[in-house]
Amino acid sequence: MAKEQSSISKDVAFGFLPAQKNDRVFGLWDLMLIQVGIGVSCFCLLVGGYTGMMVGAKEAIATILFGNALPVFLIIPITIYFARYGVDTFIAFRSSLGYLGSNIFYFIFMVLTIGYMSIALFMAGQALVKIASFLSLPEFFTLKTTGAPFFAILLFAFAFLVTFKGPLFIRKFNMIGVPAILLVMLGLISILIFGQGMDKIFSLAPAEPYEDTTRSFITALEINIGLGFSWLPYLGQYSRLVKSEKSAFKAGFLSYGILVNIAAVLGALTALVVASLDPTDWMFAIGGTWVGLMGLVLLTLGNLTATIFLMYSQAISFKTVFPKKSWLFALATAVPTVFLLLSSVFYDAFNSFITVISYIMAVFGGIVISDFFFVKKQRISFQDLYDTKGSYYYWCGINPSAITSFIVGTIAYWSLYNPILDKVSGLFLYISAGIPAYFAAGICYYISSKYIFAYKVDREEREAISVPAKENVL
C-alpha cells in the first residue's frame, strides 16, 4: 500500500492536475467498491423507503428498476471522458459549460454534496441514538433532538480526519465501511425472505399513498429518477484514477445502475413491512434486539463511509476550481454540513430535496452528454481544458448554448412537476419530469451549438490531445 501511495502524485491526489498512467491505481473492483460505498447507503435506502410508503411491492420494484437504471444508463457514458483524459468533473465540463459555467456548476454540486452528507450523518446519528437508548445512556444521548445532532457532528469530525489523509487512505477505510453496508443488505434480504415471506410482502398495502394510484406510482418513479441522475457530478473524481475507460464505464453502471437498485428495492420492501421510511426503525422492527443492534452499527459504518467519499469528492473538486488553496481549506468547505445536522428539518425533507436534484442533474446531464458525444464527437482539446482563456471561454466564460439549454430544460421540468409544492400537470402522470427534461436540454444544446451559437470549437474537426488511455469503449 505504501508503494501505491507514492505512485499517486500529490498534485493529483490532492489537487487538480490530470492523472497520468502511474497515477491510475484503481481497477474495476476498486472503483466499484468506492461507488457502492457512496451509493448503497442512506440515499438508496431512503429512496426505497419513500417508494415503499407510496406503492405496493410490484410497483415499487418496477419504479426502482426503471427509475434508477435509465438515468444511470443515460449519464454513465460520460465516465469515458474522465477516464480518457484523467480529469475531474469540473475540469471536463469546461468544454460544454465554459470555464465560469463549470465553476458555477461546482457550487451547485457543493450544495448537493453538503445535503447528501447531512442526510448520511443524521441517519447515522439516529442509529447511534437508538444504540444509546439500549445501553441506558443519559437522556441527552437518547433523544433525537440532542443525541442525533451530537453523534452526527462527532462522526463528521471523524470523516474529516479520514478524508484529510487522501484517496488511498480512504480506500483502506473502504474495506470496512462497504462490507458493513453490504452486510446490512444481506441481513435485510434474509429477514424479508425467511422471516416475512415474499407472499406476505407482496400482499401488503403502502402506508402513505396518494388518493390516485397513478399519482403514487409516477411520484415514486420521479424520486427514483432523481437518485439516478444525482450521481452525475460524482463520476469524475474517482473515474479519473481508474486504469481504463472500460473499467470506469462498467464500474459506474454495475454500482450505480445495478447494486444501488438492489438496496433501494430492499428499502421499499422493508418500508412496506414496517410502515416506516426511516431505516433506523427497521432494524429492531424486523430483526429483534440483537440483530437490530448489529444492523444499526453496520448502518452507521456504511453512512460514515459514504460521507467520507462525498467529502473527498467535494474537496478535490474545490481544488480544480481554486487550485492555489490548500487541501485543508478545500476540506473546510464541508463544514457548513454541521449546520444542517443541528435538527432533523433537512433530513425530514429528503423527498423534496431529491426531486429538485433530479431537475438540476437531468438538465446538466443532457447538456454534457450532448456536447461530448454529439457536438464535439469525443474530440476535446486537452490544452484548452486548462487554458482559461482558450477555446472553451465562449462568452464571458459561459457557453450560451448551455444557458439556453438549461432554461429549456427548466421549463420542461417545472411545467410538468413542481417538487417544492408537489404540484403536477396532467402530462406528468404519463411521462414524469426528469427524463423529458434530460432530452429537452440535450436536444436544445445540440441545435444551439450547431446552428445558433455556433462557435468554432464546435464546428471544426479537431484532433484530441489527451492523457493516454488504455482503450476506447465508445
pLDDT, one tens digit per residue, over 151-191 is: 999 999 999 998 887 766 666 666 676 677 777 777 778 88
Angle among Cα 65, 67, 71 to the nearest 5 degrees reads 110
The amino acid sitting at 39 is: G
Task: Give pLDDT, residue 174.
Answer: 64
Asked if residue 422 lies in contact with residue 433, where contact means CB atoms within 8 angstroms, the answer is: no
Give the containing element (helix H, strand E) for 417. strand 417-418
Angle between helices 147-164 and 279-321 (to 10 degrees): 40
Phi then psi for residue 239, to 5 deg, are -60, -30
Q: Say how far residue 62 (Cα) sits from the centre of its chain.
A: 21
Nearest to 109 by CA among 380, 365, 338, 401: 365
Residue-wise pLDDT tens digits, 33-77: 778 766 776 778 889 999 999 999 999 999 999 999 999 999 999
Residue 117 is predicted with a pLDDT of 93
221, containing H or E segment: helix 213-229
Residue 3 has pLDDT above 90, yes or no: no
- What are the DSSP E strand ranges found in 80-191? none
Collapsed DSSP state (helix, strand, coil) of residue 127: helix
Calculate Rg over the CA atoms of the chain. 22
For the chain, what is the domain count? 1
- CA-CA distance, 449 to 70, in Å (whole number)? 26
Closest-CA residue to 75 (of 92, 62, 53): 92
Residue 281: which CATH number? 1.10.4160.10
Please state, in angstroms and rounded to a whole number, the distance separating the CA atoms of residues 337 and 151. 14
pLDDT in tens, 379-404: 998 889 988 888 999 999 999 999 99
- Distance CA(332)–CA(327), nearest Å, equals 9
Q: Is residue 64 part of a domain?
A: yes
Q: Which residue has the cell 423507503?
A: 49
Q: How many residues does the chain have?
A: 474
pLDDT at 316: 82
Domain that holds residue 228: 22-349
Is 214 buried (19+), middle (13-18) or exposed (0-12) by CB count in 10 A? exposed
pLDDT of residue 35: 81
Q: How far is CA 417 from CA 65, 143, 178, in A?
A: 21, 37, 35
Domain assignment present for 455 = no
Predicted local confidence at residue 46, as pLDDT? 87
> H-helix or E-strand containing 214?
helix 213-229
In this structure, is residue 279 part of a structural domain? Answer: yes
- What whole-number distance in Å separates Cα of residue 384 and Cα of residue 382? 5
In-domain check, residue 4: no
- pLDDT in the model for residue 122: 95
User: 137-146 long-range contacts, Cβ below 8 Å, gap at least 24?
Assistant: 144/344, 145/343, 145/344
The CA distance from 77 to 55, in Å, is 31
Mean pLDDT of 108-131: 92
Has residue 379 been placed in a domain? no
Q: How far apart are CA 12 and CA 5, in angstroms?
A: 12
374 in any annotated domain: no
Within-domain flag for 387? no
Neighbouring CB atoms inside 10 A of 174's CB total 20
Is residue 465 in a domain?
no
Query: Residue 470: is its pLDDT beyond 60?
Result: no
Which residues are CB-neighbours of 31 under 8 A, at least 6 positions away? 238, 239, 242, 247, 248, 251, 252, 255
Rounded Cα gap, residues 76 and 325, in angstroms? 30
